[in-house]
Chains A and B, each alone.
Chain A
């Protein structure tokens, strides 16, 4: 079912990570992403993997949920890992050689690190942001972080509002899609079998009602907002003011240490991947 998708879903809770200021979380996630891309040897990966595991522990989000979020990536991970293993040529003698296939230690190492990089990246940022931050506070945080742009007349508030409305209506739209799908299935519609053309045609009974109700909903929302005198951010005050607390400084400090650790550990020479690092960043960005 559509609603089984967990990637990017918020799980309410009261863990320390849930209580962090959204701005802190956005900044920490950025640091984390940069650190993951800088990582180039086993030691740094170990450090980042430990960080991720600790984050999972602190957030109290069940392993099941996290495994489920990785599941859709398994195919891509396997595919790129196999390509990496097969295509990488090393300096030393091949680990295994068979017909035209030659497997080098370097290839295996790179494949493992690439897979780790993707998994750590996805899990880490999900824990820091999407799983533990409600969409509303996420956009609040973004708006606040980007507010300097107001000086050069970029309508930050409008963009933030657009984003929160879009995020707010994703579940509604999913629910609506499911409802209409069920209604048409009840009339014998078949969305899953037949030729490509037939299947595309089968979507008409789904898309037409979906568009109609989306337009209607947009209009109703606009009217409702106007009824409450919404005029953008002019004279608008906030109900919940964002404020940095002690815990934010603690986390920022720890992350700064980890980031420093990653840079230091990277200096430890790790011969054959020094070129591969650049290669990875260019070709295997998620």
Chain B
């Protein structure tokens, strides 16, 4: 198998033993593959962010195990910080973590913590900046002078510069304009392919999921509701709606068409897929 990160029977409880006790994850098992982009969707409070924080050992599981390359990441708790270089986590609104004097220095913070030489750090900074679409002219500016979207990209570059085998992004496109979304999410495929890395993308947007992901994990009230390829997940619109989620807009259009006697077939969750399906239908109809 091509899987790199696997979690088994993972549970996490907040504030155990206080009146605020809350089960955030309940016996979750799921695995992530190399070179693939996996989407993680779920209603607010379904446990997505908790799961993400468990993946790189920021939280310690209440029970269950996280395996990276077949090894339990908590096998040696003192070495847990090394795991974080391998599982790169981009938190929600990562622009708040910027602190250094220049963009260059800020992106280089991770690699420098890895203990690399200055030359290597510089090489990684340039590489990560290119991946995330940061122009060379920005590298010597202060991160606080940049626009929101640029800051976001610098923060993502700061993680990519560590060249993690697993790149986890928690809502990387939240609050960005459509162009910013496209640029940031588009670069993820590039990263997954070139590094043969596993990318995990947490998002609320069904359109983004359908467009950028290979596999999807659907979470619902602290549990995994369903896993599968994008096709499998989005063909079950009722299931998604029943857990408070939605299907991409275009899927609904396709569904309405089908219910009115226009039987479409194919990838009915992206605009292009539906377009092709309609064209096919029209051609066949003419014949």
Contact = CB atoms under 8 A, between A and B. Distances in A.
Contact of A189 (B17, B19, B89, B113): B113
Interface residues of A, number: 24
Given A182-B53, A188-B113, A208 B84 contact: no
A188 B85 contact: yes
Contacts of B113: 187-190
A274 to B, nearest CB: 43
B19 A187 contact: no
Contact of A188 (B15, B53, B162): B162
A86 interface: no
A46 interface: no
B216 interface: no
Contacts of A187: 84, 97, 109-110, 113, 158-159, 162
A205 B81 CA distance: 16
B144 interface: yes
A219 to B, nearest CB: 14
A130 to B, nearest CB: 14
B58 interface: yes
Nearest to B114: A188
A201 interface: no
B56 interface: yes
Given A11-B19, A62-B19, A186-B89, A180 B96 contact: yes
Contact of A183 (B85, B91, B162): B91
A168 interface: no
A209 interface: yes
Contact of B96 (A65, A186, A213): A213
B99 A208 contact: yes
Given A176-B96, A186-B90, 6 more contacts: A182-B58, A185-B58, A187-B84, A187-B113, A187-B162, A188-B84
Interface of B: 15, 17-19, 53, 56, 58, 81, 84-85, 88-91, 94, 96-100, 109-110, 113-114, 144, 158-159, 162
Interface of A: 3, 6, 11, 62, 64-65, 176, 179-180, 182-190, 204-205, 208-209, 212-213
10 contacts: A3-B15, A62-B19, A183-B91, A183-B97, A185-B81, A186-B56, A186-B58, A187-B113, A188-B113, A209-B96
